[in-house]
C-alpha cells in the first residue's frame, strides 16, 4: 500500500498552473539592492492545474464534514452551514479595509445592524465584533474586567478568577494569560455549580467568575440569578462563555441572568463554517458599566452616515488588525436575517428536543447517561463498564459518523459529550443509535474488535507517541 502523496511529491520541475498578468521588465538588483535579495527562491510545489485539482479533490475525499457526515460533537454545535450565506459573503469580498468610509456604507450598515441584533439576542448594552475566535473574545472580556477593577482602585486586590471544574480549557488559559490565578469550583452531584462552595470561594480577592449556561454537562444552572447576586455583592464581575447559547437562543438572555460580559461563538450558534479549525468569530457584549472599556473600533451611526468609532474613553485597545472577521460577520448576519426571532426560538427548541430524544435512545442502546434527566442541547454519556470511550469513538468512524466529543468535560470519567443540534432529523438520530447498538454488540462478541478500530478509514489508528517524541513538522523537500 503506497502512501497518499504530499503535494510536493506531485508534479515535475518546471510544471506550473497559474499565470499572473504580465508587467514591465525590471532590474530587481537595481531597484531593491543585491544585499536585500534572497539567494535561493522558496521551494514550492511545481504542478499543473490538473495535478493541483486532483490532489486537493482527493484530499477532500479523505475528510469528514457536516455536509458529508453526522457530527454530534458536544460543545461544538455542528449545525448545517447554509449555502446562501456563502452567496451573501461573496457580495462583500472585494472591499479594502482602508477604503474611504463613504465607499463602504453598506458594509458598515451591516456591521451596525449585526451589533444591534446580537445585543438584542444577548440582552447586553454594548458590543464589539472584533475578536477572531471565542478564546479571543474571552481575552477581550477578561481584559475589560481587569481594566474595570483597576479603574475602581481594586485591581491589585482582585487577583483570582473562579472557573467551574467542568470549564472549557480556554477559560483558565485566558485567565492565566492575563496574570490571574485560577480557582476551580466543584460541580455538585446535581450537575450544577456547588452553591456552598461558590459562596465560600467569593471574597474581595475575586475579580471574575466565568460560567457557561447551560454548563458543559448540558445542564441549566437553575440558581444563576442567586449566583449572579452573590458574585456582584462580593464585587466580582460575571463572565458568560457563549459556547452553549444554542440551547436558549431566543428564549433567555445572558444579560437577564446578570452577566456583565458575554462572548458569542458565531461559528457555533450562528453557523459560520468551522473550516477545519477556523476562522471563528467571537463578538463580546457588555453591560453599560463596561462599555467604556470596549476594544476599538466599534461601528456607530451618525447623521453623516455609518462610521468606525475610535472614541472609546478607556478602551483596552485593539485586539487585532482592521475590524474583525468581516466575511464571517456577513454570514452570521445573513443567518439571523433568515431566521428572525421565531426561527431562533425554533432552533433552541429543536436543539433541546433532539438532544433529549437521542439521550433516551442511547440509554436504550446501552450507554450510561451521566445525568439521567432532562438535559438541554447536549448531554454526557459513558460507555458500559469495561469499554473505553476512545475505542467506541474509533469504531464509529467505520460507520461514516463522527464520534461525539471524547474525554470532555474532565469531571466525568470516560466522558462522551453528545450534541446533535437542531438541523438533524430524527432518522439520523435513529441511525446513529442503531450504529452504537451494533458496535456494542460486536464488542461483546469479540473483545479484539474495539481496541483495534477503525478498520475502513483512509488511515487507521495512529502512533501519536512517536509524533510527539520525534516531531516531523514539515515535509523533507530534498
Contact set for other proteins, span 235-264 (CB under 8 A) = 248, 250-253, 256-257
239, 259, 293, 323: residue in contact with other proteins (rule CB under 8 A) = 323
- Give the nearer residue to other proteins in terms of CB position, either 225 or 444: 225
Measured between alpha carbons, how far is 380 from 215 in angstroms, rounded to an integer? 11
408 touches other proteins by CB under 8 A:
yes
434 touches other proteins by CB under 8 A:
no
Measured between alpha carbons, how far is 320 from 109 in angstroms, rounded to an integer? 21
Q: Phi and psi dihedrals of 191, rounded to 5?
A: 85, 0
114, 126, 127, 143: residue in contact with other proteins (rule CB under 8 A) = 143
Nearest to 15 by CA among 58, 55, 39, 44: 44
Residues 356-375 that bind other proteins (CB under 8 A): 356-357, 360-361, 374
CB of 469 to other proteins, least distance (A): 5
- Give the nearer residue to other proteins in terms of CB position, either 366 or 444: 366
153, 302, 313, 321: residue in contact with other proteins (rule CB under 8 A) = 321
Residues 276-315 that bind other proteins (CB under 8 A): 276-281, 295
With beta carbons less than 8 A apart as the criterion, state whether 332 and 272 touch: yes
Residue span 194-233 as binding mask against other proteins, x where in contact by CB under 8 A, dash where not: -------------------------xx-x-xx--------
- Give the nearer residue to other proteins in terms of CB position, either 155 or 444: 155
- Give the nearer residue to other proteins in terms of CB position, either 86 or 194: 86
CB atoms within 10 A of CB 292: 16
CB of 367 to other proteins, least distance (A): 16
446 touches other proteins by CB under 8 A:
no
Half-sphere exposure of 450 (CA within 13 A, CB side): 21
CB of 32 to other proteins, least distance (A): 5
Residues 49-108 that bind other proteins (CB under 8 A): 49, 52-53, 55-57, 59-69, 71, 73, 76, 78-82, 84, 86-89, 91-100, 102-107
Q: Which three cell numbers stand for residue 371?
A: 445525568
Number of residues engaging other proteins in binding (CB under 8 A) = 200
Nearest to 436 by CA among 367, 352, 359: 367
125, 182, 300, 449: residue in contact with other proteins (rule CB under 8 A) = 182
Q: What angle do CA 15, 61, 469 make, to 5 degrees?
A: 85
Measured between alpha carbons, how far is 45 from 267 in angstroms, rounded to an integer? 32
What order of strands is seen across the sheet that includes strand 405-406? Answer: 368-369, 379-382, 416-418, 405-406
Measured between alpha carbons, how far is 437 from 72 in angstroms, rounded to an integer? 17
419 touches other proteins by CB under 8 A:
no
User: Which DSSP helix (H) or strand (E) runs through 418?
Assistant: strand 416-418
Amino acid at each position: 500500500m503506497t502512501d497518499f502523496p504530499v503535494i510536493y511529491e506531485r508534479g515535475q520541475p518546471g510544471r506550473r498552473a497559474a499565470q499572473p498578468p504580465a508587467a514591465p521588465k525590471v532590474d530587481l538588483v537595481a531597484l531593491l539592492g543585491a544585499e536585500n535579495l534572497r539567494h535561493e527562491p522558496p521551494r514550492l510545489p511545481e504542478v499543473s492545474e490538473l495535478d493541483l485539482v486532483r490532489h486537493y479533490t482527493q484530499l477532500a475525499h479523505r475528510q469528514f464534514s457536516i455536509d458529508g457526515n453526522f457530527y454530534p460533537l458536544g460543545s461544538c454545535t455542528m449545525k448545517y452551514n447554509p449555502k446562501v450565506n456563502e452567496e451573501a459573503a461573496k457580495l462583500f469580498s472585494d472591499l479594502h479595509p482602508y477604503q474611504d468610509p463613504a465607499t463602504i456604507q453598506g458594509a458598515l450598515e451591516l456591521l451596525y445592524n449585526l451589533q444591534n441584533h446580537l445585543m438584542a439576542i444577548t440582552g447586553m448594552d454594548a458590543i464589539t465584533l472584533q475578536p477572531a475566535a471565542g478564546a479571543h473574545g474571552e481575552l477581550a472580556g477578561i481584559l475589560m474586567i481587569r481594566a474595570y477593577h483597576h479603574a475602581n482602585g481594586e485591581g491589585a486586590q482582585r487577583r483570582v478568577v473562579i472557573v467551574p471544574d467542568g470549564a472549557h480549557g480556554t477559560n483558565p488559559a485566558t485567565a492565566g494569560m492575563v496574570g490571574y490565578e485560577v480557582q476551580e469550583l466543584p460541580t455538585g452531584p446535581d450537575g450544577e455549580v456547588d452553591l456552598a462552595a461558590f459562596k465560600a470561594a467569593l471574597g474581595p480577592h475575586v475579580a471574575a467568575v466565568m460560567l457557561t449556561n447551560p454548563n458543559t454537562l448540558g445542564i441549566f444552572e437553575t440558581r444563576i440569578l442567586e449566583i449572579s447576586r452573590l458574585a456582584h455583592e462580593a464585587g466580582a464581575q460575571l463572565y458568560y462563555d457563549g459556547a452553549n447559547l444554542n440551547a436558549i437562543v431566543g428564549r433567555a438572555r445572558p444579560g437577564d441572568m446578570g452577566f456583565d460580559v458575554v462572548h458569542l461563538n458565531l461559528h457555533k450558534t450562528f453557523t459560520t463554517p468551522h473550516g477545519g479549525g477556523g476562522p471563528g468569530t467571537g463578538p463580546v457584549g457588555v453591560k453599560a458599566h463596561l462599555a467604556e472599556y470596549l476594544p476599538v473600533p466599534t461601528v456607530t451611526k451618525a447623521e453623516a452616515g455609518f462610521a468606525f468609532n475610535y472614541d472609546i474613553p478607556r478602551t483596552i485597545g485593539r485586539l487585532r488588525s482592521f475590524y474583525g472577521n468581516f466575511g464571517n460577520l456577513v454570514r452570521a448576519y445573513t443567518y439571523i436575517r433568515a431566521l428572525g426571532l421565531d426561527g431562533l426560538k425554533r432552533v433552541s427548541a429543536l436543539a433541546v428536543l433532539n438532544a433529549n430524544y437521542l439521550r433516551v435512545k442511547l440509554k436504550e442502546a446501552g450507554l450510561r447517561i451521566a445525568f439521567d434527566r432532562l438535559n438541554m442541547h447536549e448531554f454526557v454519556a459513558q460507555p458500559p463498564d469495561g469499554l473505553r470511550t476512545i475505542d467506541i469513538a474509533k469504531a464509529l468512524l467505520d460507520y461514516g459518523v463522527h464520534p461525539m466529543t471524547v474525554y470532555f468535560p474532565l469531571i466525568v470519567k470516560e466522558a462522551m459529550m453528545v450534541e446533535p443540534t437542531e438541523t438533524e432529523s430524527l432518522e439520523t438520530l435513529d441511525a446513529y443509535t442503531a450504529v452504537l447498538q451494533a458496535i456494542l454488540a460486536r464488542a461483546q462478541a469479540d473483545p479484539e474488535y474495539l481496541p483495534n478500530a477503525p478498520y475502513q478509514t483512509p488511515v487507521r489508528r495512529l502512533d501519536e507517541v512517536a509524533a510527539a517524541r520525534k516531531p516531523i513538522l514539515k515535509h523533507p523537500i530534498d
